[in-house]
């Protein structure tokens, strides 16, 4: 087990820079575990990093392995690890900007994983961590969601969006989902109170204002979103831009809040997701499964903006 197959790239660029290579298996420290990966989720942050959009953080050392979330089986534990053992089926994620899961083996901290939910297969579990944790942490921690609040999810048909719709409902909110006409039926199956087609309708004419707007796809600006927020309402982005941050200085907008979310692998949150998955309260929609030897097409599809739910690598 000295070498493993992994998706790697040796420079930033287009999907063409991705290749399947044989590289050394990660060596774990005393406080880490080594997981034999079965499935690895594909997320928009993967291609953004590959393009070099975050190289001020990710740096210029190569090769890099894309991917953060995964499901698999523990094959080795460090001497200080007590809560997991060899053979445990787990799901979890690495540090988002660190990557590493699009490979036969990945190392991570025990705090970043949890036991596989009963009744959920490896393919489904491999899609969950990054997207569902993003939705949970955005709505609960940034939006301070509570029962009865009116929540708008923009970009509801994607991986984070579909989880956000379900989690907002589980936390007691009245949920309006914004999506394209072609995804209306799919999104409606995940339980929102209202579904709006952004191509045909202006939701500001149909509904009262919202307490929380979670703009998964960063389509609005803060200055535009405040028109649809109740006083003390929260606009949540997956990444805030300088213009949006500058807008918060406008005295007219001080009664509104702008928040951005950067997902963190939190074990207690993974436990919560596992419970919802086991009880059938949280469901996964898988659009496409790609083999590990087809990384270019996987990223091309991910970048197309037409992914419905989740895509995943079969390792």
- What whole-number distance in Å separates Cα of residue 33 and Cα of residue 46? 23
Q: Which of 133-142, 154-163, 216-225 has the lowest mean pLDDT?
A: 216-225
- φ, ψ of residue 139 to 5 degrees: the values are -75, -45
Q: DSSP H helical segments within 104-191, as ranges?
A: 122-125, 129-136, 159-170, 184-188
Q: Quick one: what percent of the chain has pLDDT higher than 70?
A: 93
Distances (CA, A) of 195 to 162, 170, 178: 12, 17, 6
Q: Which of 3-7, 17-21, 246-250, 263-267 has the lowest mean pLDDT?
A: 246-250
Q: Quick one: what percent of the chain has pLDDT higher than 90?
A: 81
Residue 79 has pLDDT above 90, yes or no: yes
pTM, two decimals, is 0.94
Domains parsed from the chain with CATH numbers: 3-128+284-314 (3.90.180.10), 131-260 (3.40.50.720)
Distances (CA, A) of 160 to 13, 42, 114, 253: 25, 12, 20, 27
Per-chain mean pLDDT for the chain: 93
Token pair listed for 293:
């030897």
- Res 268: pLDDT: 98
- Res 1: pLDDT: 67
- Res 162: pLDDT: 98
Higher-scoring residue by pLDDT: 219, 314: 314
- Res 33: pLDDT: 98
């Amino acid at each position: 087990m000295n070498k493993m197959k992994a998706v790697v790239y040796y420079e930033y660029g287009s999907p063409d820079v991705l290749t399947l290579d044989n590289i050394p298996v990660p060596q774990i420290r005393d406080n880490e575990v080594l997981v034999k990966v079965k499935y690895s989720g594909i997320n928009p942050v993967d291609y953004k990093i590959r393009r070099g959009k975050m190289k001020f953080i990710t740096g210029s050392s190569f090769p890099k392995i894309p991917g953060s979330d995964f499901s698999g089986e523990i094959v080795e534990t460090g001497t200080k690890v007590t809560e997991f053992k060899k053979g445990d089926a787990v799901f979890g994620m690495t540090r988002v900007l660190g990557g590493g899961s699009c490979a036969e083996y990945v190392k991570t901290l025990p705090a970043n994983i949890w036991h596989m939910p009963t009744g959920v297969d490896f393919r489904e579990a491999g899609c969950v961590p990054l997207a569902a944790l993003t939705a949970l942490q955005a709505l609960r921690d940034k939006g301070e969601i509570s029962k009865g609040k009116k929540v708008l999810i923009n970009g509801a048909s994607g991986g984070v969006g579909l989880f956000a719709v379900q989690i907002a409902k589980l936390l007691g909110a009245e949920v309006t989902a914004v999506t394209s006409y072609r995804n209306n039926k799919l999104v409606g199956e995940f339980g929102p109170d209202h579904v709006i087609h952004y191509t045909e309708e202006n939701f500001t004419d149909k509904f009262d204002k919202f307490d929380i707007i979670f703009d998964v796809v960063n389509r609005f600006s803060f200055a535009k979103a405040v028109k649809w927020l109740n006083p003390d309402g929260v606009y949540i982005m997956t990444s805030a831009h300088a213009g949006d941050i500058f807008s918060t200085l406008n005295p007219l907008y001080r009664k509104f809040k702008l928040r951005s979310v950067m997902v963190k692998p939190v074990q207690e949150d993974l436990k919560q997701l596992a419970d919802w998955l086991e009880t059938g309260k949280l469901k996964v929609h898988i659009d496409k499964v790609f083999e590990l030897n087809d990384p270019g097409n996987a990223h091309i599809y991910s970048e197309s903006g037409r992914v419905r739910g989740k895509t995943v690598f079969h390792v």
